[in-house]
Structure 1
Amino acid sequence: MTQRIAVIPGDGIGVEVTGAARTVLDAVAARHGLDLAYQEFDWSCARFAQTGTMMPEDGVDTLREFDAILLGAVGWPGVADHVSLWGLLIPIRRAFHQFVNHRPARTFAGVPSPLAGVGPGDIDILVVRENTEGEYSQIGGRFNQGLPEEAAVQEAVFTRQGISRVADYAFAAARARGGRLVSATKSNGIVHTMPFWDEVVRSRAAEFPEVSWRSEHIDALAAKVVLAPTALDVILASNLFGDVLSDLTAAATGSIGLAASANLNPSGEHPSMFEPVHGSAPDIAGRGIANPVGALWSVVLMLEQLGHAEAAADLMGAVERSLADAATRTGDVGGNADTAAVTQFVAASVGG
C-alpha cells in the first residue's frame, strides 16, 4: 500500500535538509521495499512575501489526505516569528490534534557533550511536551497600544482532557523505556494551572503502577538536565516548559543541530508531522554545510509512526555510523563533511 508523505521544505536550510531526507528515504525505501509517494508544497516565508499567507486557505484540508508530513524549517528575516509559526506550524498541529511533541535527546559516539564526564549513551532522555494548549493559547490581547499604560494579556489554557492524554502517552513511553518519569511543574508560583496539571498527572499515574514517577519544579529540573542528566529518562511537560526543556536536553547532548521531533496524533486518525528543530539558520543557508541529522532522525521517527520499525532502526544505525567519524559528520559537530557528503554516506550505509 502506498503511503503518501507531504513535504514542506520551508525556509533556509530547511530546503537543504529536506532534500537530504528525501535522498536517504529513497535508499531506505529501496532496501526495505517501502512504497512511499511524495508531494512537495512551497509553503514558506518566501510564499508569505509574495502572497501574504504562509499557506493557502485550504492548506490544512489539502494535508488531510496524507499519511505523514515532513517539514524542513520555518522562518526568515523580515517575517516575524509569530507570523510564520501561527501561519503554518501551529494551525497544522491543532487541526490534526498533534497533541504530543515527542523529543528524544541522546549522546552519540563522535559528538562530545559539553557536560563534563558525559559520554556516548550516557544521556538518553525523551521529553514529551503537550503540544496544542497550555501557555500557547490564542486567548488574550493588547490594550491601550502606544500609550504609557499599554498592557498585554496572554491566557494559559489547560484542560483535563489535554493533560490526561499527553500524560497517558508519556507514562506509556516510560513503561516501555526505563520505567522512570518526572513531571515538570511550577505549582509553588503558578497558583491555578500548575496545581491542576499536578492533580491530573497524579490521577493518570495511578493507571501506570509500573512507572516510578515524581513531580519537580521546572527550575530545579532544568538544573538537573545540566548537573545530572544521566538520571533522567522521560520528562513530561506543558507546552512552554516542554519547549524550553527539549532544547536544553538537546544542547546537553552536544548540538541542537541533531535534534529531531515528532508532532504526533498517536491514534493515527490524522497525519503526524515530523521536523528537525534547528530552525532555518539564515546565516548558513545556501552554503551546503547544514547538518542533516536532525531531519534524518525525524525521518526515523516518521518511519516508526508509519509502522516500519525495521527500516527506522536501519536508518538510525546509519546515522550513528555517520556521526562516529569526523569524515562523515558536519563541522558544527566537529567534522569536516558537508551536507551532501553526510547524505551520501548515510544513504549508502543503510543496511550496512
Structure 2
Amino acid sequence: MTLRIAVLAGDGIGREVVEEALKVLDAVSVAGGPAYRLTHFPHGADHYLRTGELIGEDALRELGEHDAVFFGAIGDPRVPPRTLERGVLFAITVRYEMFLSVRPYRLHHPRLTPLDPSVARSLDLVVVREAAEDVFALPGGSIKTDRPDEVSVGTVVFTRRTVEAVVRYGFELATRRAGARRVTVVDQSNAAGVFDIWPRVLEEVAPEFPDVDAWHEAPDAFAMQLVRDPARYDVVVTSWMLGGVFADLAAALVGGLGLSGSARLNPGGLSLFEPTHGSAPKYAGKNVASPLGAIHAMAMLLDANGRPDAAALVEDAIALVLREARIPTVDARSGVPTDRQGDLVVEAIREKSARRAPR
C-alpha cells in the first residue's frame, strides 16, 4: 500500500526540518518501509501575504484524500499573532476533529538533561492532552483595550464526550506501552470547578483497565514530582492549557523542544504530525535548527499508519546518533548543521537496516 502524505512545511524553520524528515522517510522506504506519495501544500505566511488566503475549502477537502498530514511549523512576525495559527493549523484540526494531542518524551543520554542522571535515567513518558475544547471552544478577547479599566474574558469548555475519549485513550495507550502501565490525570479541580469532570471521568473509566494504576494530581504537585521523580509517570492525561506547560517542561528534561514529535489525532480519521517546536523565525534559513523533532514526528506518522517496524527503525536511529554524540545537543548550538543532522540519521538507518538484513 502506498502511504499518501499531505505536506505543509509552513513557516520559519518548518521548511528546513520538514526537508530533513522527508529525507529520512525516503531512507526508510528504501530500507523496506512503505512506498509513499507526497502532496505539497503552500499554506503559511508567504502564501497568505501573497494571496490573502489562509487555507481554502478546496485545500481542506484535498487534505482529506490523504492518509496523514505532515506539518512543519506556523507563525511569522509579518502576520498578526494567532492569524496563521487559527486560520491554517486550527482550521485543519477542527475540520478533521483532531481532538487528541500526543507528545512522547524519552531521555536518550544523561548529558541531555539538566537533572541528576540518577533521577532522570528512567524518564520515558507520554503527555496526552485534549486538543479541541478548553479555551479554544469560545476564545474570548478584550474590551476597553489599553485603558485602565480594560477587561479580558475567556471561557473554558470541557464536554463529557471529549474528556472521556481523551482519558480512555490514555488508558489504552498505557496498556500498549512497555513498563509501568500508569495513568496520571492532571487537573485543577482543587481550585476550579470547571475541572471537576476530569477526576469523575477518571473514576468511571479506570475500572475498565484493572491492570493500569491510575490517579489524579493537581498541577503544582505534578510539576514538582516531574522534576523530582520523573520515573513515577508513564501516561499523563490533561487539558490543552495545562498540557502545553507540562509538555514543554518534559521536553526540557530530555534535551529541549528540538527533539520531540507531536501528533494531533483523530483515531480512525485523518491525523496530523509535527515537531513540538515553533517556527523560530530568527533561525530560519541559517541551517542551525535541529530536525530531530520533525524526524521523530515522521516516526509517529509511520507508527500510526500501520508501520511500527519502520517507526522503530527511525527511533532507533535517533537514539543512536544521540547516544554516540554524533549530534551532541538538540538545539541551535549543536554545531551540526540541520542538513548534516538529517544525513546522520539517514546513515544510522542504513547501518541498522544492514544489520537486520538476512545473511
Determine if the TM-score, normalized by the shorter chain, exceeds 0.5: yes
Deviates more, 1:136-145 or 1:91-100: 136-145
* 1:321 partner letter: L
The answer on whether the counterparts of 2:112 and 2:329 sit within 8 Å (CA) in structure 1 is: no
Separation (CA, whole Å) in 1 of partners of 2:202 and 2:319: 35
Separation (CA, whole Å) in 2 of partners of 1:103 and 1:153: 29
Separation (CA, whole Å) in 2 of partners of 1:331 and 1:164: 35
The answer on whether the counterparts of 1:143 and 1:150 sit within 8 Å (CA) in structure 2 is: yes
Q: In structure 1, what is the equivalent of residue 357 of structure 2?
A: none
TM-aligned CA deviation for residue 334 of structure 1? 6.9
Deviates more, 1:300-309 or 1:222-231: 222-231
* 1:281 partner letter: A
Q: How does 1:241-260 map to 2 (within 5 A)?
A: 241-260=242-261
Q: How does 1:173-192 map to 2 (within 5 A)?
A: 173-177=173-177, 178-191=180-193
* 2:165 partner letter: R
Q: In structure 2, what is the equivalent of residue 61 of structure 1?
A: 61
Q: The residue matched to 1:258 in structure 2 has which SS?
A: coil
Taking a change above 3 Å as real, the CA distance of residues 117 and 111 of structure 1, as seen in their structure-2 partners, is: closer
The answer on whether the counterparts of 2:119 and 2:230 sit within 8 Å (CA) in structure 1 is: no
Q: How does 1:105-254 map to 2 (within 5 A)?
A: 105-109=105-109, 111-118=111-118, 121-145=121-145, 147-177=147-177, 178-191=180-193, 193-254=194-255
TM-aligned CA deviation for residue 220 of structure 1? 1.1
Separation (CA, whole Å) in 1 of partners of 2:111 and 2:9: 26
Q: In structure 2, what is the equivalent of residue 87 of structure 1?
A: 87
Separation (CA, whole Å) in 1 of partners of 2:112 and 2:139: 42
* 1:154 partner letter: G
TM-aligned CA deviation for residue 92 of structure 1? 1.3
Check if 1:314 corresponds to 2:316: no
The answer on whether the counterparts of 1:293 and 1:319 sit within 8 Å (CA) in structure 2 is: yes
TM-aligned CA deviation for residue 69 of structure 1? 0.4
Separation (CA, whole Å) in 2 of partners of 1:172 and 1:22: 30
The answer on whether the counterparts of 1:111 and 1:334 sit within 8 Å (CA) in structure 2 is: no
Q: In structure 1, what is the equivalent of residue 348 of structure 2?
A: 349
| TM-score normalised by structure 2 residue count | 0.92
CA deviation vs aligned residue, 1:132-178 (integer Å, no higher than 9, x gap): 11232235343344554332221111100000101110011112232
TM-aligned CA deviation for residue 34 of structure 1? 1.5
Q: Which runs of 5+ in 2 are unaligned?
A: 355-359
Separation (CA, whole Å) in 2 of partners of 1:76 and 1:139: 21
TM-aligned CA deviation for residue 204 of structure 1? 1.4
* 2:287 partner letter: G
* 1:116 partner letter: D
Taking a change above 3 Å as real, the CA distance of residues 111 and 54 of structure 1, as seen in their structure-2 partners, is: farther
CA deviation vs aligned residue, 1:237-285 (integer Å, no higher than 9, x gap): 0111111111111111121110210111112xx2110000111111211
The answer on whether the counterparts of 2:102 and 2:262 sit within 8 Å (CA) in structure 1 is: yes
Check if 1:16 corresponds to 2:10: no
TM-aligned CA deviation for residue 118 of structure 1? 4.4
Q: Which runs of 5+ in 1 are unaligned?
A: none
The answer on whether the counterparts of 1:101 and 1:262 sit within 8 Å (CA) in structure 2 is: yes
TM-aligned CA deviation for residue 95 of structure 1? 1.5
Aligned alpha-carbon RMSD (Å):
1.9
TM-aligned CA deviation for residue 332 of structure 1? 2.5
The answer on whether the counterparts of 2:288 and 2:337 sit within 8 Å (CA) in structure 1 is: yes
CA deviation vs aligned residue, 1:314-343 (integer Å, no higher than 9, x gap): 111111111123334557287432112111
Identity among equivalent pairs (%): 35
Deviates more, 1:327-336 or 1:104-113: 327-336
CA deviation vs aligned residue, 1:191-231 (integer Å, no higher than 9, x gap): 2x211222122211121121111110011111212121121
Q: In structure 1, what is the equivalent of residue 301 of structure 2?
A: 302
State the aligned residue count.
Answer: 349
Separation (CA, whole Å) in 2 of partners of 1:225 and 1:334: 26
Q: The residue matched to 1:155 in structure 2 has which SS?
A: strand
* 1:243 partner letter: G
TM-aligned CA deviation for residue 33 of structure 1? 4.6
Q: In structure 2, what is the equivalent of residue 293 of structure 1?
A: 292
The answer on whether the counterparts of 2:183 and 2:213 sit within 8 Å (CA) in structure 1 is: yes
CA deviation vs aligned residue, 1:21-64 (integer Å, no higher than 9, x gap): 11110110111152200011111112222223332343321211
The answer on whether the counterparts of 2:187 and 2:218 sit within 8 Å (CA) in structure 1 is: yes
Q: The residue matched to 1:76 in structure 2 has which SS?
A: coil
Separation (CA, whole Å) in 2 of partners of 1:278 and 1:114: 19
Q: In structure 1, what is the equivalent of residue 277 of structure 2?
A: 278
Q: The residue matched to 1:77 in structure 2 has which SS?
A: coil
The answer on whether the counterparts of 1:11 and 1:72 sit within 8 Å (CA) in structure 2 is: yes
The answer on whether the counterparts of 2:182 and 2:213 sit within 8 Å (CA) in structure 1 is: yes
Taking a change above 3 Å as real, the CA distance of residues 143 and 120 of structure 1, as seen in their structure-2 partners, is: closer
Separation (CA, whole Å) in 2 of partners of 1:293 and 1:273: 17
Q: How does 1:320-339 map to 2 (within 5 A)?
A: 320-329=319-328, 332=331, 335-339=334-338
* 2:158 partner letter: F
Moved segments of 4+, more than 6 Å: none
The answer on whether the counterparts of 1:329 and 1:338 sit within 8 Å (CA) in structure 2 is: no
The answer on whether the counterparts of 2:292 and 2:330 sit within 8 Å (CA) in structure 1 is: no
